[in-house]
Structure 1
Amino acid sequence: MMSANEYEGFAKALDARRVTLRTSPEEYKAAHELPGWYEALKPLTPESAWTQGPDLAGLDAVCEQLGSGPAVLRDHVKSMKHYWDEAAYIPDVADRETVQRVARRFLELRDDAFTGGFVLRRFEEFTGAEARTWWIGGSCALVTPHPDTPDQLPDGLDLVEVEPLVTDLGLPFVTVDLVRRTDGAWRIVELGDGQVSDWPTSRDPSDLVTALF
């Protein structure tokens, strides 16, 4: 998974060889890092606030924005959900000691891969498996299971509210992960650049190749 800076260097190297990427460096950064897509998808994704850089002190202002209640910590690109209790979940952002402890552990685990800054996302209760949707030129081309649950595809996926928001972003190739909240509403968990999004092992990769070409 390239960082935005690495992708920019990649694009420049290809440009010197008269090759133009379908996704520009600016578009890649917008899709790859949460601050690039959050405002556009804000109505359908958990409330979020973030810092710039790994400064632990800056988390206090982010906590103030959320007020109180549970949240999930990540950076601009990735969470450490497989270390849920020690480096992801915060039971109450008003408990600043716990916020700092979780953030320090997150920094240790992410190490040099830490990107952008800290993000706190308000915790929402979800149910069932996620769906990964694949968008080409602002239209949903494919719906697959999420790679973490390749044999589980949720029923009744509704993109009526999602489609205009993703289309308005104007990004050439992205994935949008959706899951049902316990009240029945479909929520956006993540938007990512399609080039670095995993494909579920239960599906034939030729389906994606056909959609792209």
Structure 2
Amino acid sequence: MINQPSQIKTVVAEMQKFRGTIEGGSCVRRIEDFIKETERRYFVLSGKPFAALPDEEIPEIVFECAKRIESQFFSVDVIERRDGTKRIVEIGDGQVSDIIGWTAERFAQLWIDS
């Protein structure tokens, strides 16, 4: 496991060896202590975030993300750190995002309501 930014040269060399090119760049991030069972998926449609349950509170970080990303539709996965801080761990274009934690009816309803 690579866990030091100084090891990036090794990562890049391995990627180039096996893939030929690096698409989109690379990212180094701090290791954080997440509570795995707190991960939730939200969807953003036309700038408005939606949660899996109609009365579920949507974290402020999802609203901030919805303001900054110009895409019409995308998913936002949020997890909680042990200290209570919410973090975005993934933003997807919606094409490959399953509706984990959502019912098909709730997912359809967000399209109907929009």
TM-score by length of 1: 0.42
Q: Classify 1:127/1:175 alpha carbon distance in 2 versus 1 (closer, same or farther; 3 Å).
A: same
Q: 1:133 aligns with which of 42, 61, 66?
A: 42
Q: Classify 1:114/1:141 alpha carbon distance in 2 versus 1 (closer, same or farther; 3 Å).
A: same
Q: Classify 1:180/1:170 alpha carbon distance in 2 versus 1 (closer, same or farther; 3 Å).
A: same
SS at match of 2:60: coil
Fraction of identical pairs, as percent = 27
Q: State the 1:173 CA deviation.
A: 0.8
Q: In proportion to residue count, which structure has more helix?
A: 1
Q: State the 1:204 CA deviation.
A: 3.1
Q: Which amino acid aligns with 1:143?
A: A
Please give the root-mean-square deviation of Cα atoms over the aligned residues, in Å: 2.9
Whether the 8 Å contact between 2:43 and 2:50 is mirrored in structure 1 is yes
Aligned counterpart, 1:209: 108
SS at match of 1:191: strand
Q: Deviations over 1:4-32 (max 9, x none)?
A: xxxxxxxxxxxxxxxxxxxxxxxxxxxxx
Aligned counterpart, 1:102: 11
Can you give the 5+ residue segments of structure 2 that lack an aligned partner in the other structure? Answer: none
Q: Deviations over 1:9-56 (max 9, x none)?
A: xxxxxxxxxxxxxxxxxxxxxxxxxxxxxxxxxxxxxxxxxxxxxxxx
Q: State the 1:113 CA deviation.
A: 9.2
Please list, as runs of the form range in 1=range in 2, the aligned pairs for 1:117-132 lying within 5 A after superposition.
117-129=25-37, 130-132=39-41
Aligned residues: 108
Structure 1 position 175 matched with structure 2 position 84: no
TM-score by length of 2: 0.70
Whether the 8 Å contact between 1:180 and 1:186 is mirrored in structure 2 is yes
Can you give the 5+ residue segments of structure 1 that lack an aligned partner in the other structure? Answer: 1-84, 145-155
